Structure 1
Amino acid sequence: MTYPTRQAPRAADVRALGRSLSECRACPRLVDWREETARVKRPAFRDWDYWARPVPGFGPADARMLLVGLAPAAHGGNRTGRMFTGDRAGDVLVAALHDLGLASQPTSTHSGDGLQLYGVRFTSPVHCAPPANKPTPAERDTCRPWLVRELELLRPTLRTVVALGAFGWQAVLPVLGEGGWSLPRPRPAFAHGARLELPPTRRGGAPLAVHGCYHVTQRNTFTGRLTPAMLRDVLRTAALEAGLPARTAP
């Protein structure tokens, strides 16, 4: 049995963190759902051997920009074993990063497809696919030590965070408060295009900018609530602020 409060602080780097995280079985409801989804499968993926485990963050260990989502998709990350991979949300997000020169290719289909992110990393507050894509507050809190440790490991280089959706915004802010940055009071509400600058609380630390962006769900992208141009604008602003050479999208 992997206990996040015990195992997460022991990870020496993000690779070790991912290995430890992928063995976690701390939330019975999420374990049952991710494994049931892998047994039942969708007809389109009947030949797939699903990952069906917690999905680690993805991207370089010295990332300057962190994208925080909600949780892996049941037939996306839970199937492929990589965050924002194998579903519509990943298609939209990776295409936007590629347009900006921050990803090596415009698609994210499976873990061996050659995708590389440049200065950018993906993670989420909950690392298992939840039923109806809705983790409980208790599941979020149980998973929290993994995010706390990931941010600690990224702190030397991290300069911006993009919270995708209100859940990511609400989940990551208290973790940043623990991780070496000062939060305003009261905490600002999520909004697309919102920006916070968090001063460091530790000597030698650097300020961190937090940007809000609507999540890349099918509901948001199909209805036009989040357009590709809107997504690229937030990502480009955050990337330039992080010191990444984001180009102007076509």
Structure 2
Amino acid sequence: MDEIRPVRRRARPATDAAGFPAVTAPGARDVPELDAALVTCRACPRLVAWREEVARVKRRAFRDWEYWARPVPGFGPLDAPLAIVGLAPAAHGGNRTGRIFTGDPSGDALYSALYDVGLASQPVATHRGDGLELYGVRITVPVHCAPPDNKPTTGERDTCRPWLARELELLRPTLRAVVVLGGFAWQALLPVLAQAGWERPRPRPSFGHGAEASIADPATGHALHLVGGYHPSQRNMSTRTLTPAMLRDVLRRGADLAGLRDRPGPQ
């Protein structure tokens, strides 16, 4: 647990003000500024109560940890041509470690696959400061706080939407493809892209593992390619609804569409 820095709770900031994050997120000038505002967000009372209760009670295996217990920002380079969009932080994963898909079984599967296809520097992610780097890919989520039972409400999803919309807008100059993990993320992402300025596809593309869609971007003239993939949840992996090979396949496809070619990986 070296290099974990507990973040001290502040008195409730102005994030309780009406319109946060809808007013705050669009004004961020860059991704670091966006992330700095995001981690102070208290806009969804149910999620705030849950993330902090989980951090107070803890899981026995992590009783010595100082949980992050805040919204979890995206992770990866700010000029990434490929994005991965998941669901939300895990209660004892990202909510504990402060980094998305880090310290939980879903993250174990995802980072192992990213390493196998040459998009990560190591196959494991345990904590911030563990040396992990991502190559050409940034990971983010439509809901930045851990939800009870891994199920955000539609209201919580919509309240959180401005964070993802602004993040993708800031990534826009280099962003060429998005791998979307799970049906929730697929349904959440399409209105986010419309809010950020991409054209809304007609008809609405359906989610499926390996599903693809191309969305026009009037601002850059470049199409944004979406690739659907099943979420690497513990249930999906244990039932083999999703296998490591299937996960590598959608990541490779996203990397190809993003222009990240000639990456090493299993044949």
Give the structure-2-normalised TM-score.
Answer: 0.91
Partner of 2:227: 211
Please say if residues 34 and 129 of structure 1, whose CA atoms lie closer than 8 Å, have aligned partners that are also in contact: yes
Deviates more, 1:20-29 or 1:3-12: 3-12
Partner of 1:223: 239
Distance 1:170 1:77 in 2: 22
Structure 1 stretches of 5 or more lacking a match? none
Q: How many angstroms does 1:5 deviate by?
A: 1.0
Aligned residue type for 1:55: V
Q: 126, 130, 142: which one pairs with 1:109?
A: 126
Aligned residue type for 2:141: S
Partner of 1:32: 49
Question: Are 2:255 and 1:239 aligned?
Answer: yes
Distance 1:180 1:197 in 2: 14
| Identical-pair percentage | 66
Q: How many angstroms does 1:9 deviate by?
A: 1.2
Q: How many angstroms does 1:188 deviate by?
A: 1.7
Q: How many angstroms does 1:6 deviate by?
A: 1.6
Q: How many angstroms does 1:181 deviate by?
A: 2.1
Please say if residues 99 and 249 of structure 1, whose CA atoms lie closer than 8 Å, have aligned partners that are also in contact: yes
Partner of 1:42: 59
Secondary structure class of the residue paired with 1:210: strand
Q: How many angstroms does 1:178 deviate by?
A: 2.4
Partner of 2:165: 148
Aligned residue type for 1:7: T
Distance 1:249 1:11 in 2: 40
Distance 1:41 1:147 in 2: 28
Partner of 2:186: 169
Q: 87, 91, 96: which one pairs with 2:113?
A: 96
Please say if residues 59 and 121 of structure 1, whose CA atoms lie closer than 8 Å, have aligned partners that are also in contact: yes
Structure 2 stretches of 5 or more lacking a match? 1-13
Give the structure-1-normalised TM-score.
Answer: 0.97
Distance 1:79 1:248 in 2: 30
Distance 1:184 1:240 in 2: 22
Deviates more, 1:5-14 or 1:110-119: 5-14
Q: How many angstroms does 1:171 deviate by?
A: 0.3
Deviates more, 1:179-188 or 1:82-91: 179-188
Deviates more, 1:36-45 or 1:1-10: 1-10
Q: Deviations over 1:170-214 (max 9, x none)?
A: 000111122232232221221110000111122x33111000000
Secondary structure class of the residue paired with 1:209: strand
Secondary structure class of the residue paired with 1:6: coil
